[in-house]
Amino acid sequence: MNKHTFLAAAVLATSAFAQTTANYPGGPVKGVTPFEQNLFDIGKAAYEHDFTIAQGLGPTFNKPSCAGCHFLPATGGSESGTANNVTHFMINNQGNFMPALEFGGPVLQLRSIAELPGGETCSIVGETLPPLPGVTTSIRHTPPVFGFGLLDAVRDEEIVEYQGKKPWKLPGVAGQVNWAIEMESLVRLQAFTFDPTRKQPAGPVRAGRFGWKSQTGTLYQFTEEPFNIELGVTTPFFPREFTPNGGPVPAGCGLASAQPNDTNSVESIKLMHFQALVGPLPRQQLTPKALAGRVIFHAIGCADCHRPHMKTTKDYYMPLQGGAAHRVEALSNKTIAPYSDLLVHDMGPGLEDGRVMGRAGPRFWRTTPLWGARFKDRFLHDGSALTLDEATERHGGEAQLSTDLYNALTPAQEEALFEFINSL
């Protein structure tokens, strides 16, 4: 199949995508049952809930709720501005990037329960970078989670087949899977269990698809891990309490009513239900100008990484309370249009940071899904780009030729391109 034939097929395939978008921003994916709608509503309430000290918030944390950062244009979205950006840090030992877990990493928790009512006995203050040589930081902007259940439902094979150089890609474009370790049993095989004695992530390798470097392979892990890292709530899978620079929890700071705080992952599952069932943002009708922009999008190589369509697995199962699993028809056997290949690509020295995650080195980033782009006001991993134009201009590495072609567009062609992107 040559490039033109492949792109024509991709354009036609996207026309089948409509049935999975939410009816309104932050709404559930189309086709949920009344039972799933109830799970969604309960999960959304948990997502918006400010967790308390007794529920395990802290002792250090960034926000008391998931929606504290995920709110634009609705619950589950991105954030406006850069005030809530998260700082990741590692130790760079002569080019060997080492996790800073023993020093309070991988992120800075800027707040402490000492500032909250009931936390006065805690002497901890918000975390600052440890005074160690080689500390390397990377700023991360909050990603929207709209449509994440559909991305979780994409089979590994669907992602793997797109990696590497292909005849339809521009020269230099490759991309690779960032393989991740599943921490839980395979819910897709209806073997989902919680083992409170398991202290480390375990399970089969799965193609990463979540996080700025595709470092996480399952939506459940992408729920529990931030619950622990950002809010400080411990779970059976992530039982570690975070303190400034990794010190022990002082007396007067262990105020939660249970250990681990989310003892049976009850709250984690609620949060996961919301992230699994929240749909992609509604798309706009394609205008003649946007249709022209779609042709340009393919012609200059944007679609080489921002893949127009994917297919979800035939049977997607979601965990329920008590260890059971539930098949979600609304997420099963669907054609979706995230406009991402979920691979990581070398984006050149201009986007290099100090964070290594799996196979994704400092210059490697996941192809950001473009669906819902018009609702964002910050772009790139650190939110430093204020416009789509700026974000595109800073694409280097594997995307350099595509960027050069973009820079050769006329103003009218560029306007058409962004009208198409903003319709997604």
Tokens 């709720």 — which residue?
Answer: 65
Structure tokens at 183: 């921490």
* pLDDT per residue as tens digits for the range 183-233: 643 333 333 333 334 333 345 688 999 999 999 999 999 999 999 999 999
Closest CA to 66 of 307, 275, 293: 275
381-423: pLDDT as tens digits = 999 999 999 999 999 999 999 999 999 999 999 999 999 999 9
Spatial CA neighbour of 122 closest among 63, 74, 59, 176: 59
Query: Quick one: tokens of 302?
Result: 């944007």
* Residue whose entry in the numeric block shows the structure tokens 């430093």: 384
Q: How far from 245 is each of 61, 87, 130, 157, 354, CA to CA, in Å?
A: 13, 14, 6, 40, 18
Q: How many other CB atoms sit within 10 Å of the CB of residue 118?
A: 11
What's the pLDDT score for residue 6? 43
Is this model's pTM higher than 0.85 or not? yes
Q: Do residues 385 and 391 lie in contact, with contact meaning Cβ atoms separated by under 8 Å?
A: yes
- In the chain, the number of structural domains is 1
Rounded distance between C-alpha atoms, residue 238 and residue 240, angstroms: 6
User: Sign (positive/negative) of CA torsion 406, 408, 409, 411?
Assistant: positive
Give the rounded percent of residues in the chain with a pLDDT score beyond 70.
90
188-226 b/e with 16+ CB inside 10 Å = b?
beeebebeeeeeebebeebbbbbbbbbbbbbbbbbbbbb
Residue 349 has pLDDT above 80, yes or no: yes
Q: Render the burial of 412-422: b for 16+ CB within 10 Å, e for the rest.
A: ebbebbbbbbb
Q: Enter the DSSP assignment of 78.
A: B
Residue range(s) defining the domain that contains residue 341: 3-421
CA distance 44 to 264: 19
Contact 272, 237 (CB under 8 A): no
What DSSP designation does 258 have?
Answer: S
| Torsions phi, psi for 225 (to 5 deg) | -65, -50
At residue 60, the 3 state secondary structure works out as strand
pLDDT tens across 135-175, in order? 999 999 999 999 999 999 999 999 999 999 999 999 999 99
Of 147 and 106, the structure prediction assigns the larger pLDDT to 147
Q: What is the dihedral of CA 374, 306, 395, 403, to 10 degrees?
A: -100
For residues 351 and 365, the answer to whether their CB atoms sit within 8 Å is yes
